[in-house]
A and B are shown apart, each in its own frame.
Chain A
Amino acid sequence: MTFAVVVFPGSNCDHDAYHAIKHVLGEDAVFVWHKETSLHGADVVLLPGGFSHGDYLRTGAIARFSPVMRAVEDAARAGTPVLGICNGFQVLLECGLLPGAMLRNRDLKFHCEFVHVRVERTDTPFTRAAREGQVLRLPIAHGDGNYWAPPETLDALERGGQVVFRYATAAGEVTDEANPNGSVHGIAGICNEARNVVGLMPHPERACETAVGSDDGLVVLRSVLGTMAGDGALEAASR
């Protein structure tokens, strides 16, 4: 299976994603420069973390107009699994593939630390190998991760089961203290209505080996293998 890792000027987790896919998962990964107009038939699209275009104007605001985004939007609408991590999530919000927007963290600080998130839904391509309620220990590194959506959008997200990850304690309790940035309803990640597009602020690709502090992020990347290959492969991947 081939993952397209999109590279914007200022992306800085593109190589982390490539490493996790290629060297930890043993799958194929190709870098796709943001000026390209094709994803080269990749099975999965990954928008990595970083500071695309210096985060000028708003996070992800310039990147969403990159030529490659047209191909990403087409792929997303055709049902291809798309994962946006951190800045990639912000790009997905700006281009409207996911609803809502990011505000500055409520304490105005850049948070670079490990947090816990609870898996709320396992019916997405990136959580299928996880258990509902499973707590993942993942790193975050962002200044604009304070997720916000108008009340009607928030209601629709909750009703539609589109909240995929929430900040929680190590025991899996969603509390205000466990929320690092002030995100509404403790939201750390969401999916679109069709459920094939997922965005989250924490970095699963940076938590794929115990040598770097956690391998809890593997389940996110491994989930998509099962999605594409069928349930038998999913079970094999989650073992």
Chain B
Amino acid sequence: MKARVFVTLKPSVFDPQGHTIAEALHSLGYGAVADVRQGKYFELDLDVESREAAEKLAAEVSDRVLANPVIESFRVELS
């Protein structure tokens, strides 16, 4: 089973990279892009039988390793 994990900075945390990208887009004339938040994307290949086990495993490694819960949150999608 495959899991896709999206890690993003929490809304309360300033994102220097996203901010710089937004400014670059504005300078290119894309004023309608109000804001940008940059994140990370992971594809996990999981050797488990059930969807439930996959969800549990993906959430565990995301919380423990892939994301730093102090500044980041994550979302898991299974496919």
- CB within 8 Å of B: which residues of A? 57-58, 61, 65, 93-94, 99-101, 103-108, 146, 148-150, 182
Contacts and interface: CB of A to CB of B under 8 A. Distances in A.
A101 B65 contact: no
Nearest to A59: B68
B71 A108 contact: no
B17 to A, nearest CB: 6
Interface centre among B15, B17, B71 (most CB of A within 10 A): B71
A193 B16 CA distance: 30
B16 A146 contact: yes
Contact of A182 (B9, B16, B65): B16
Given A101-B68, A104-B17, A106-B16, 11 more contacts: A93-B70, A99-B70, A100-B70, A101-B70, A101-B71, A104-B16, A108-B17, A148-B13, A148-B70, A148-B71, A150-B70
Contacts of A104: 16-17
Contacts, number: 38
A149 B69 CA distance: 11
A49 B66 CA distance: 22
A187 to B, nearest CB: 14
26 contacts: A57-B65, A65-B65, A93-B70, A94-B68, A99-B70, A100-B70, A101-B68, A101-B71, A103-B9, A103-B13, A103-B14, A103-B15, A103-B71, A104-B16, A104-B17, A107-B16, A108-B16, A108-B20, A146-B16, A148-B13, A148-B14, A148-B71, A149-B70, A150-B70, A182-B14, A182-B16
Nearest to A94: B68
B12 interface: yes
A105 B68 contact: no
Interface residues of B, number: 13
Nearest to A58: B68
Interface string B21-32: 000000000000
Of B17, B65, B66, B70, the most chain A CB neighbours within 10 A belong to B70
A103 B68 contact: no
Contacts of B17: 104, 108
A150 B14 CA distance: 11
